[in-house]
Amino acid sequence: MKKIHCSHLLLISFLLLPTLLYSQRVVHMVLPNYPAQQVIEWTEQTLMTTLTAGYHEDVSEAANVRKRYLHLGWIPMQSFLREKLRVIGKQEIMLHPEPITPPVIIQTEDCEGASCWHVHQAFLIPELRNKVDFTALVITADPAHGSPFLIKSLSIASTDY
């Protein structure tokens, strides 16, 4: 009789133990539902501000631009700007990027509990005679951040014209 009870107890333990070990409290996070227009306008404004702020006279302006990017998103922009800063600084020019395509959401995803969008836009930078194509992965930011979005990653293709 004890063997039957022990085997039942053992069977029940094996059935319940994984449930107890792997049960997690389900937390539903309500993310704001941003309209596509807001995402693309923010992305275009961020890219324009970043490009025009390439030659920073005001250090706080540079810091404010940087806050809109996560580290992996900033690295390509930093590399692009570093390459161009030699010309900008030498000639003391201010960039005036011109959008040549409207910003377009090419893909929408769920990124680890945050909404995210792949946004593409191309610009001409006449002062550098460059055409620059950006594809940004834009994610929702923490409400405490002060901005509704952040650029998580960025790819840049630049060609001379």
CATH code for position 123 = 3.10.450
Q: Identify the helix (H) or strand (E) that includes residue 83.
A: helix 71-91
What does DSSP assign to residue 69? B
**Domain-located, residue 84:** yes
> Is 18 a domain residue?
no
Residue 138 is assigned to a structural domain of this protein = yes
Domain that holds residue 104: 34-160
pLDDT at 84 over 80: yes
Residue 46 lies in a domain: yes
- pLDDT digit string, tens, across residues 111-137: 877 789 999 999 999 999 999 999 999
Question: Total domain count for the chain?
Answer: 1
In a domain, 115, yes or no: yes
What confidence tens digit (pLDDT) does each residue in 46-80 have? 999 999 865 555 666 667 888 999 999 999 999 99
Tell me: pLDDT of 6 over 60: no
**pLDDT mean over 79-92:** 83
84 forms bridges with which residues in the sheet? none
Q: Can you list the positions of beta strands (E) in the chain? A: 98-99, 104-111, 114-125, 130-140, 149-160
Percentage of residues in the chain having pLDDT higher than 70: 74
Burial string for 37-46 (b: 16+ CB within 10 Å, else e) reads eebbebbbeb
Collect all residues with Cβ–Cβ distance below 8 Å to 24 and sequence separation of at least 6. none
Check: CB of residue 96 under 8 Å from CB of residue 108: no
pLDDT of residue 44: 97
Interatomic CA distance for residues 79 and 144, integer angstroms: 28
Residue 49 lies in a domain: yes
Residue 21 counted as domain residue? no
- The pLDDT value recorded for residue 88 is 80
Q: What is the reported pTM?
A: 0.75
Q: Is residue 17 part of a domain?
A: no
Matching residue, tokens 């594809």: 135
Q: Name the E strands within 13-148.
A: 98-99, 104-111, 114-125, 130-140
